Amino acid sequence: MHRRISPALIGIGTMVGYIVGVGLFGVPYVYVHGGVWWGVAVTIFAGVIMMTLHVMFLQTMAASTERMRDVKMAGTYLGPWARRLAFVTTTLAAYGTLLAYTIASGRFGATLLAPFTTSIDPFWVSLLFFAFFTALVLRGRVFMARAETFFTVLLILAILVLLGIILPAERPENFTWLAPRGMFAVFGVVLYALGGAAAVPTVFELLKPDHRAATWAVVRGTSIAVGLTAAFGLVVAGAGGLRTTEEGLTGLAVIVGPGIASIGAVFGLLGILTSFLPLSIYLRDVFLLDYKLPKPWAWALTLLPPLLMFLLGARSFIQVIGFTGGVVGGLGGVLIAASYLAARTQLGVRAAGIMRVPPFAAFLVMLAFGAAVLVEVTNIALSAGRG
């Protein structure tokens, strides 16, 4: 059945599936505390920035003579210092996110099992899901991409059902404009929620050598994800108001009914599944292609560190969202944009017709990500001061 799905549709599904993940649950909370309409505006702006970054990343890979990811790309076009920095940002972001997915999967799974048993420990559910995700990833990129398209369709349906249930509970007074105290916190969470660079190489591999088709798949997939993110944040914040929790849906149980937790858990597990797969493949490729490690070692260095961190006691993922999106993701975005600009100059004629993002747009992306790093660092400092 999956063989009938066109590669372009699989590419779009891969982008949507990766971007729409656990980060989405934090969006309503920062909308409420930063201003709902301000949050929507930031999401649209960040969506344009992310879309441009994804396209630049893909076009740099298409114009290069070697297979590479962001670590080797930074080293090739910017120098050894950039390669080291890119390796740190890439691995930190990936390990933190895979760890967060592992923790969240246990909580969502325990929520689904709660009506049947009250003695289930989320720890063991997390390990079970980690093993399941690993088994899917080890089947290979093509299987993963086809499976992800199927799960992404289920994910979108789950979001639409969820929003349909919540819509009748909307309250006009909850649609605020701007709350200065929380306006800065929006940036890191939204950037985390919309980050999809790790899925871009999979789209490129599926559609090469037609880089234009791959570019359109990236643009469309990112656009759909931005729309779903803004809609989810708007609807959940509009219904929950100040009852909205950091996990997005828990506080709505009083308004909508206790069944919302189970529906949200299904949605959360699908979101984790469609994000865990391409992120694992991406980090494996960094070790495989950029550092020329044997495949078994590449897989071990991808999957074992987050598992070990979980086993050693790491159990919280809320703070990962803002830090990973604003600081680690922001630095990674600056490096990709800078690599794109350097590659345009160094590749010369080869880049013509492939690297079509204007230099001024790349500079704006660098400026936006640099500002996001400063905003998130400032927000962390202010939060620490208030604490």
Q: For 99-130, how does the pLDDT look when each residue is reduced to its tens digit (9 = 90+)? A: 888 888 887 888 788 777 667 788 888 899 88
pTM score, whole prediction: 0.82
Tell me the mean pLDDT in the region 353-360.
88
What pLDDT is stored for residue 249 in this prediction? Answer: 65
| pLDDT tens by residue, 367-377 | 988 887 887 77
Stated length of the chain: 387
Instruction: Give the containing element (helix H, strand E) for 150.
Output: helix 141-166
User: Position of tokens 């979001």?
Assistant: 159
Q: Which residue has the higher pLDDT, 270 or 37?
A: 37
Amino acid 261 reads A
Cβ neighbour number for residue 7 with a 10 Å cutoff: 17
Cβ neighbour number for residue 180 with a 10 Å cutoff: 9
10 Å CB burial of residue 364 (0-12, 13-18, 19+) is middle
- Name which of 321, 308, 305, 317 is nearest 380 in CA terms: 321
The secondary structure of 324-373 as a DSSP string is IIIIIHHHHHHHHHHHHHHHHHHHGGGGTTT--S-HHHHHHHHHHHHHHH
What token pair was written down for 137? Answer: 């990833």
User: Position of tokens 């079509």?
Assistant: 356
Mapping DSSP to helix (H, G, I), strand (E, B) and coil, where does residue 341 land?
helix
Cβ neighbour number for residue 301 with a 10 Å cutoff: 18
Cα separation, 172 vs 249, in Å, equals 19
Is the pLDDT reported for residue 206 higher than 80?
yes
- Name which of 306, 338, 312 is nearest 70 in CA terms: 338
- CA within 13 Å, CB half, 35: 12
User: Position of tokens 């070692």?
Assistant: 297
pLDDT-based confidence at 339, cuts 50/70/90? very high
User: Position of tokens 């590669």?
Assistant: 7
Q: Which residue has the higher pLDDT, 38 or 291?
A: 38
**CB 378 within 8 Å of CB 327:** no
What pLDDT is stored for residue 43 in this prediction? Answer: 94
Domains annotated for the chain, with CATH where assigned, are: 8-386 (1.20.1740.10)
What pLDDT is stored for residue 144 in this prediction? Answer: 65
| pLDDT tens by residue, 47-74 | 999 999 999 999 999 888 888 788 889 9
Cα separation, 10 vs 5, in Å, equals 7
| pLDDT tens by residue, 274-302 | 778 778 888 888 888 888 899 899 999 99
User: Position of tokens 């909580």?
Assistant: 107
User: What secondary structure letter does DSSP report for 286?
Assistant: I
Cα separation, 380 vs 382, in Å, equals 6
